[in-house]
Amino acid sequence: MLRTVGYVVGLLLVLLGLIWIAQGSGYFPYPASSFMINQSIWILWGSIMAAAGIAVTVIISRLRRRG
């Protein structure tokens, strides 16, 4: 159960990070009134968020092998 929650959280973090990267770079301008569009700081925050999601997924994966 905890592993499943960990995987879901990790994947959601990666997805959210990718959306932030796409909005910050202007590739995903939705909604049109979003303050994140073409703002390069959101590329950085999105990268950090996606990296955190990957880290959570890797940690959960390694815990699964031990247990």
Q: Which three-class secondary structure state does DSSP give residue 28?
A: coil
Q: What's the N-to-C CA distance of the chain in angstroms? A: 13
For 19-51, what is each residue's pLDDT tens digit?
999 999 989 888 888 889 989 999 999 999 999
Q: Give dist(CA 43, CA 49) in Å, integer.
A: 10
Query: Which structural domain range is residue 25 located in?
Result: 2-66
pTM of the model: 0.85
